[in-house]
Chains A and B, each alone.
Chain A
Amino acid sequence: MTRRRSLLLGGLGAAGALVVGWGVLPPRSRLGAQGTLALEAGEVGLNGWIKIAADGTVMLAMPRSEMGQGIHTALAMLVAEELEVPLAAVRLVEAGPQRLYGNVAMFVESLPLHPEDTEPGHETALATAGRWVVAKVARELGIQVTGGSTSVADAWDVLRLAAATARAQLVGAASLNWRLPADELRVRDGAVHHDATGQRAHFGELARVAAATPPGEVRPKAREDWRLIGTPAPRIDVVAKADGSARFGLDVRLPGMVYAVVRHCPMIGGSPGRVKIEAAMRMPGVERVVRLGPLAGATAAPAVVGRSTWHAQRGAQALEVEWQAPPGGRLETAAIRLGLEAQARAAADRGGGFVFHRRGDAEAALASAARRLEAVYHAPYLAHATMEPPNCTARVADGRVEVWASTQVPGIARAQAARVAGLPESAVTLHLTYLGGGFGRRLDADVVAQAVRVALETDGRPLQLVWPREEDIGHDFYRPAGVAVLRAGLDEQGRCLALQATSAGDAITPRWLERGLPGLATRFDAPDKTAGEGLYDQPYGIAHQRIAHVATHSGVPVGYWRSVGHSHNAFFVEGFVDELAHAAGQDPVAYRLAMLRDKPRHAAVLRLAAQKAGWPGHGEARALPAGRARGVALHESFGSIVAEVVEVSLEAGVPRVHRVVCAADVGTVVNPGIVAQQMEGAVMFGLAAALRGRIDIEAGVVRQRNFPDVPVTALADTPRIETHLVASTRAPGGVGEPGTPPLAPALANALFVLTGERRRELPLLG
């Protein structure tokens, strides 16, 4: 059935898919057939996600990338819950390229819908239709990608159903074997039990019959029966990460392996002209030089192959290259910054830009307001700086490509590898390793394409290609710089009646599609949700709003950076709302709460943060030591709501953050321990960027080169971070990113209280 449907779809294309697929329940359509998973001796596949070993071990196909966010643990928990096995009894196995492993939620969430139009129970028909169409297409494309804090949301129905179906089949098998009614059988600890007779069979003994047993009507367990979901179960990856045995992309070691180091033009967008290789080739351990063309977003560059990373790197340094400046001229971030502000101002004055959200008549309301405020906010380019530098290992031999990659996009990596090698995708095998950080950098597969290209010339020997840190910082896909012109109209009581926000910055998604999924790229840029997110969907009940964005083309390579558009838009809107509160002479928490009368979830999160932080007027007020001040920010992103209260002082003029209180509503919590970890990590990520993060380009060259030019907050400067969760029964929201956006505005708002100076530009330490 599944195969016939696939064939039909292949012939009909996406439009046909919409018709043919009607009536198939989306989660069920992603369970996959029993033959999906490769089987070793004694193993039995029950569906596309789950197979059972002869000893009863549950094996789960894992297409998502573990980059620190705990997704391996979270997804294994869903399966362990439904199959009634201990978490430790679930073993992860490599997922193949099949489409059922594609991430549907990430594509659905890329629609620029307003949260009020997708609120469960209140969805508009247009929003429902749009999401349905995108989900359908995303299921048919089946692109494996880990990003947008979507992995749990995407797997929530699918994996629980896959495991519940497997459970039903195992019970059915026992029922058949023992000739006992299924409702007398219980599943626990990896076995089916009949308590009355004491009969017991573990999954391995039942799997073969189970595979031939129809599951009947299957429902995942009821919430009140959960014993694992909602508990802080220890992560399944930390033992290997404490003893050095966890294997990251850069740790792949294969017999006969050689190493390559890339050297790009120091000027962004520039290319190598004449390359003199003699000096490099004379160095011991250097084997050859390969000229790489532009590949999947990376610019043309020579790569040096050597017997170790060090030999290759010394060879790369010894190349004499005549660099050619980019044809479009040398980039200057100072000029780009001025241009962005000019474009945002012009659009604000003339009603320009793409309007992401409109309500009432913001211009008229501004004109008649008792009081008007205007502010211009700025944010810089930023680098990802994953601790594991970009790298990939590849072997091309006998018409096949094997790739070992720490990537967020296995689906794109396979396609890039095939394209570069000139082979069909079916000739590519991809092994997904642990990722030494992702933060969106590894949503690009440029380094995969480069590694395969070099491996074409290493005579079938495996090749590991790595970028030294300086190449990573100087040739990233940066978080785009942004600017927002914000205007508000207040009434006599200081209430905000009108908000006009006009931002400008480069669109990420169209550039990313061109690099990674050229088949989905469009000739003209579609509006990019990531540019407006965090502004157009801000939660405050303001009667008149116009939220618009001017998409620019700076020429700087831009990419997704943890929390993406929210990373700067939260700073803009939450800084400005704080300004409104102070202008109105009101407490910043009270002022926000007054605008959240129709948003009980947001209000609850804000109240919880205020109360736990000891904010005056919310429970037990806690006096701050002299010289310390508090600031607050509230932001919704990736389906979750986070409020943060930051306590800061100045030490020799430099801000020191002492404490950060996070409150969050992330929907149903799969693992509160991991949520707390992610909030801590997201705060630390946001803190380093807020204080010192910036990428400056002068005469085409990125001025920052390595740590500590790219700041990471040290242990000595680490604040105390607390996480408090609001209980929720909604479907799970995102966890990896939502903690980052509120940090910068909360810190800036605290500094305003401390210094009386309003900082509207990141980084705060200029």
Chain B
Amino acid sequence: MELQVNGRTMALPADAVAPDMPLLWVLRDVLGLTGTKFGCGVAACGACTVIVDGQAQRSCVMPVSAAAGKAIRTIEGLADPGTGPHALQRAWVAHQVPQCGYCQSGVLMAAAALLARVPNPSDAQIDAALTNLCRCGTTPRWREAIRSVAPRPPAPK
């Protein structure tokens, strides 16, 4: 089996990976991409969020076989090799969002997937896309950081 991760093709050793192994554990334990986090294992917290073919996915419940052949993007590939950190990553630093930092990879991937689809999301769209859990309580800064790179949609006339 092969995976397309952050623009690179990665071969998976057959004996290390079963088709029903969640993508999360393939990324973390087989490929060593530990930026994607384990939080709950039941798609409840969002710490494991990655982007698969443009969609935010909770990788702890996505079988690796379902991700094969698709473009997988993890936090390690969120920055652009040419232009540097993603605008959201810059905003996260400018607004001093992270505390412990453990959930932030998942939050950033969920936010990046949203902005790629909806450059000017409404507050309700942000709420619906960012259901990630943060135990440190950094949510008060998520919206302001997102708004600094994605202003509200123009008010309907």
Shortest C-beta distance, A100 to chain B (Å), equals: 27
Complex contact A68–B25 (CB within 8 A): no
- B8 in the interface (beta carbon within 8 A): no
Q: Is B93 at the interface (CB under 8 A from chain A)?
A: yes
Stretch touching chain B among A322-330, A489-497, A709-717: A709-717
Q: Are B41's CB and A234's CB within 8 A?
A: no
Query: Does chain B have a CB within 8 A of A386?
Result: yes
A309-B25, A310-B25, A706-B40 are contacts. A436–B99 as well, Cβ < 8 Å? Answer: no
Q: Mark B79-103, 1 if CB is under 8 A from A, else 0.
A: 1000001000100110011111111
A387 at the interface (CB under 8 A from B): yes
* Contact bitstring A678-715, B, C-beta under 8 A = 1, else 0: 10111111000000000000000000001110001111
Known contacts A309-B28, A677-B96, A715-B126, A246 near B89 by CB under 8 Å: no
Q: B99: which A residues are within 8 A, CB to CB? A: 68-70, 677-678, 681
Known: A68-B101, A716-B127. A681 touches B42 (CB 8 A): no
Q: Across the interface, which residues of A come within 8 angstroms of B108, CB to CB? A: 242
> By the criterion CB–CB under 8 Å, are B140 and A720 in contact?
yes
Residue of B nearest to A682 (CB): B137
Interchain CA distance A240-B15 in the complex, whole Å? 33
Q: Is B71 an interface residue (CB 8 A)?
A: no
CB of B128, distance to nearest CB on chain A (Å): 8
Closest Cβ–Cβ distance, residue B12 to chain A (whole Å): 12
Interface string of B123-157 (1 = CB under 8 A from A): 00011101111111111111100000000000000
The B interface is mostly helix, strand or loop, or mixed, namely loop
- B residues contacting the other copy or chain, number (CB 8 A): 59
Q: Which of B22, B93, B134 has the most CB of A within 10 A?
A: B134
**Given A68-B101, A242-B92, A437-B102, A468 contacting B137 (CB threshold 8 A):** no
Within 8 A of A (CB), among B26-55: 28-30, 32, 34-42, 44-45, 47
Q: Could you give, for residues 402-446 of chain A, a 1 whenever the CB lies within 8 Å of some chain B CB and a 0 otherwise?
A: 000000000000000000000000000000001111110000000
Q: What residues of B have a CB within 8 angstroms of the CB of A714 in the complex?
A: 127, 131, 133, 139
B63 → chain A, closest Cβ, in Å? Answer: 11
Q: Is A197 an interface residue (CB 8 A)?
A: no
The answer to whether B79 and A387 have CB atoms under 8 Å apart is: no
Asked if A308 is at the interface of the complex by the 8 Å CB criterion, the answer is: yes
Q: Nearest Cβ in chain B — how far from A204, in angstroms?
A: 29
Chain A residues contacting B37 (CB-CB under 8 Å) are: 248, 250, 387-388, 436
Q: A240-B101, A387-B37, A718-B140 are in contact. List 19 more A-B contacts (CB 8 A).
A: A238-B98, A242-B108, A243-B35, A243-B85, A244-B36, A244-B74, A250-B34, A308-B16, A308-B25, A309-B25, A310-B21, A386-B135, A387-B47, A434-B101, A469-B41, A681-B138, A685-B137, A706-B42, A712-B134
Q: Residues of A with Cβ closer than 8 Å to B?
A: 66-70, 234-235, 237-248, 250-251, 253, 259, 284-285, 307-310, 313, 385-389, 434-439, 466, 468-469, 673, 677-678, 680-685, 706-708, 712-716, 718-721
29 contacts between A and B (CB under 8 A): A68-B98, A68-B100, A70-B99, A235-B98, A242-B89, A242-B108, A243-B78, A253-B32, A307-B16, A308-B16, A308-B25, A387-B45, A387-B103, A436-B101, A436-B103, A437-B100, A439-B135, A466-B38, A677-B96, A680-B141, A684-B136, A706-B42, A707-B42, A707-B133, A708-B44, A713-B139, A715-B130, A715-B139, A719-B140
Residues of B with Cβ closer than 8 Å to A? 15-16, 18, 21-22, 25, 28-30, 32, 34-42, 44-45, 47, 74-76, 78-79, 85, 89, 92-93, 96-105, 108, 126-128, 130-143
